[in-house]
Amino acid sequence: MPRPLALYETWERRVRPFEPLDASRPVGLYTCGPTVYDYQHIGNYRTFLFEDVLKRVLRWNGHDVNHVMNVTDVGHLVSDADEGEDKMEKGARRTGKTAWEVAAYYTEAFLADTKRLNLLPPTVLCRATDHVAEQIAFVAEIERNGFAYLTSDGVYFDTAKLDDYGYLARLDVAGLEAGHRVDLGEKRHATDFALWKFSPAGEVRQMEWDSPWGRGFPGWHIECSAMAQKYLGDYFDIHCGGEDHIPVHHTNEIAQTEGRLASRRDLPRERRRLANFWMHGYFLLANDAKMAKSAGGFLRLATLDERGVDPIAYRYLCLTAHYRSQLNFSWEALDAASTGLDRMRQGFHALPEGRAAPDAASIERFGDEINDDLNLPRALALAWEVLRGDLAPEVKRATLARFDDVFGLGLALWTPKAVEAPADVRALAEARLAARRSKAWAEADRLRAALHAAWWEMEDRADGFALRPRTEKPA
């Protein structure tokens, strides 16, 4: 019996068996998308890659997935405490473009990157600015239920109205409260957050809308709750993001949803928490600190291009670490991943295509690994075992192709670049051909060894020879 899918779930802090809420419908998956005021860094892509693998594992288990991803193009302020500038307006100032142009430009850049990383496109990609009416309606319901209050700069959520505010993050609410008593301003509690912000007086914002409370723009958290509800319903299967979303963004998404559904006494409490599974990808670190856009000098896919590193090598690197452990980035680790990927591609490519079915025992073991809370490092190790093992070559190929539905490395699509042998290598080959024709076998062998040492392989042909870079059984 294959192992059923089980996933680590942040609310309960344990690995739970995964069952879709409604077996007759696709699994509902919401993943927090990019804030498009700048390029995404490879840390962001670690989270998107984890979510992509999750989606592929759901498919492996026979589930269709209805995947919704948002694009944050308004309302994400520089500080998580609802203060400071909107990141979009800051991006506009930095680039000399309008906030709308900034959003369009970085959304395109993001989408181009996702293609290069083999990320499966979401079913729905939704922009916050296209859903302002839904966000206003959501805030109005929260207000009607008595969970919101007005200040001179916006509409705030009153977190004290919930007895379990912050449970997702196991927040010490009382401690936070004590620490912030002096600088609360008009906020009633330290953990209260903006649902709607007014445009600053006397300032024309590039992105602003009318609302029942005044002209302004939505708070950052409301967009995800509102769009998730619109496309996936009041309660859906899985909600994901990076680990930084646990204490603020997802905590507040849950609070808002509880506030909106508070009048629905027919719903059990857990059905007011937006999603059945809350899942989080752990950080990519740079020099032991979180890689962040604000830190400057962050690494992008374009930075990998400059170094001649294939983006899929970064995908491979991410597969080597479990999504629930932080990964410290280093160029050495990325180079090692490039080498591993290269060998896997070459090894796969050397296997003949045929009609063979995948090896059932390996497929079952693979399913056990990925269903054990997405243990991709072990699944990858199993792929190497298959490649080096003694299954029939056609069976190996079929098995690895099936594994790759989850890895997403695109093994079957890859073709080796035709490589021209350098002049010294050609000279060795010519010399060897001459030695062979004059039956100087010892000399011919010596020259073959020299070619081998230069990492080339020579195939004897009736009319001469062919040269290709050495592919070997991966070490």
Map residue 379 onto helix, strand or coil.
helix
Please state, in angstroms and rounded to a whole number, the distance separating the CA atoms of residues 287 and 207.
Answer: 36
Which one, 221 or 432, has the nearer CB to ligand AMP? 221
30, 238 contact by CB (below 8 A): yes
Q: What is the largest CA-CA distance in the chain?
A: 96
Please state, in angstroms and rounded to a whole number, the distance separating the CA atoms of residues 135 and 101.
Answer: 22
DSSP state letter for 173: H
Task: By CB under 6 A, tell whether 32 contacts ligand AMP.
Answer: yes
Which one, 30 or 366, has the nearer CB to Zn ion? 30
Task: By CB under 6 A, tell whether 244 contacts ligand AMP.
Answer: yes
Please state, in angstroms and rounded to a whole number, the distance separating the CA atoms of residues 242 and 326.
Answer: 11
Of the ranges 77-85, 221-229, 318-326, 402-410, which one interacts with Zn ion (CB under 5 A)?
Answer: 221-229
Rg (the chain; Cα; Å): 27
Which one, 218 or 241, has the nearer CB to ligand AMP? 241
Which one, 97 or 290, has the nearer CB to ligand AMP? 290
- 8, 11, 27, 47: which one binds ligand AMP (CB under 6 A): 47
Task: By CB under 6 A, tell whether 290 contacts ligand AMP.
Answer: yes
Buried b (16+ CB within 10 A) or exposed e, 30-48: bbbbbbbbbbbbbbbbbbb
- 5, 7, 27, 32: which one binds Zn ion (CB under 5 A): 32
Task: By CB under 6 A, tell whether 72 contacts ligand AMP.
Answer: yes
CB of 176 to ligand AMP, least distance (A): 21
- 57, 224, 301, 337: which one binds Zn ion (CB under 5 A): 224
- 284, 313, 382, 409: which one binds ligand AMP (CB under 6 A): 284
* Strand-pair partners of 154: 151, 197
Please state, in angstroms and rounded to a whole number, the distance separating the CA atoms of residues 5 and 17.
Answer: 6
470, 350 contact by CB (below 8 A): no
Please state, in angstroms and rounded to a whole number, the distance separating the CA atoms of residues 318 and 313.
Answer: 9
Q: Record the tokens describing residue 442, joined without a space.
A: 């010892």
Task: By CB under 6 A, tell whether 10 contacts ligand AMP.
Answer: no
Number of residues that bind ligand AMP (CB under 6 A): 18
- 187, 205, 245, 260: which one binds ligand AMP (CB under 6 A): 245
379, 403 contact by CB (below 8 A): yes
User: Which partner in Zn ion, ligand AMP, none is near 229 (CB below 5 to 8 A by kind)?
Assistant: none
CB of 227 to ligand AMP, least distance (A): 14
User: Which partner in Zn ion, ligand AMP, none is near 242 (CB below 5 to 8 A by kind)?
Assistant: ligand AMP
Residue 188 half-sphere exposure toward CB, CA atoms < 13 A = 14
Task: By CB under 6 A, tell whether 122 contacts ligand AMP.
Answer: no
Q: Of 403-432, which residues contact Zn ion (CB under 5 A)?
A: none
User: Which partner in ligand AMP, Zn ion, none is near 224 (CB below 5 to 8 A by kind)?
Assistant: Zn ion
Number of residues that bind Zn ion (CB under 5 A): 2
State how beta strands 124-127 and 14-17 pair.
unpaired
- 28, 30, 46, 312: which one binds ligand AMP (CB under 6 A): 46
Q: Which position has the token pair 């409604």?
A: 22
Of the ranges 152-160, 264-272, 288-296, 448-456, which one interacts with ligand AMP (CB under 6 A)?
Answer: 288-296
Residue 186 half-sphere exposure toward CB, CA atoms < 13 A = 12
192, 158 contact by CB (below 8 A): yes
User: Which partner in Zn ion, ligand AMP, none is near 216 (CB below 5 to 8 A by kind)?
Assistant: none
**Contacting residues toward ligand AMP, per CB under 6 A:** 32, 34-35, 43-44, 46-47, 72, 241-242, 244-245, 281, 283-284, 290-292
**Contacting residues toward Zn ion, per CB under 5 A:** 32, 224
